[in-house]
């Protein structure tokens, strides 16, 4: 019985640590987001510091012609049909954890 109690304590500690880390990551990501505009303004394109090189990059956002968008919608519809009728095969990926605070 002592083993089960220790296992429960270990599990509780794991869950507690997991939740704490998720909350800490969320807090740190918010802080990074807050700092980002000032860093972008200061860096402009590229800046070397004692920590490393900061570089401002831009993600490409594509806008497609209407006929490509229409084909994309058609393909998405065909994929949904294949999923629904069972002709598409689902594969399990890597397991991951979801957490929603009580």
Classify residue 94: in a domain, yes or no: no
Domain count, the chain: 1
Classify residue 11: in a domain, yes or no: yes
Cβ(17)–Cβ(99) under 8 Å? no
Write the DSSP symbol of residue 59: -
Three-state SS for 50?
coil
Residues 6-30: tens digit of each pLDDT: 556 666 788 999 999 999 999 999 9
Kindly give, in sequence order, each residue whose CB lies less than 8 Å from that of residue 45, ignoring residues fewer than 6 positions away. Answer: 55, 56
Classify residue 42: in a domain, yes or no: yes
How many Å separate Cα 66 from the centre of its chain?
A: 30
Classify residue 100: in a domain, yes or no: no
Cβ(20)–Cβ(14) under 8 Å? no
Classify residue 96: in a domain, yes or no: no
Q: Which residue has the tokens 């900061």?
A: 54
Decide if pLDDT at 4 tops 80. no
Classify residue 29: in a domain, yes or no: yes
Residues 62-84: tens digit of each pLDDT: 999 999 999 999 999 999 999 99
Classify residue 68: in a domain, yes or no: yes
Structural domain harbouring 31: 2-85
Classify residue 92: in a domain, yes or no: no
Decide if pLDDT at 3 tops 60. no
Q: What is the mean pLDDT of the chain?
A: 89
């Amino acid at each position: 019985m002592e083993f089960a109690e220790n296992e429960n304590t270990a599990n509780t500690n794991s869950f507690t640590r997991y939740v704490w880390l998720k909350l800490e990551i969320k807090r740190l990501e918010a802080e990074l987001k807050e700092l980002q505009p000032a860093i972008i303004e200061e860096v402009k394109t590229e800046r070397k510091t004692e920590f490393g090189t900061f570089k401002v990059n831009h993600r490409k956002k594509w806008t497609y012609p209407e006929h490509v968008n229409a084909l994309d919608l058609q393909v998405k519809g065909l994929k949904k049909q294949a999923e629904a009728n069972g002709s598409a095969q689902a594969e399990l990926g890597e397991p991951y954890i979801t957490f929603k605070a009580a």
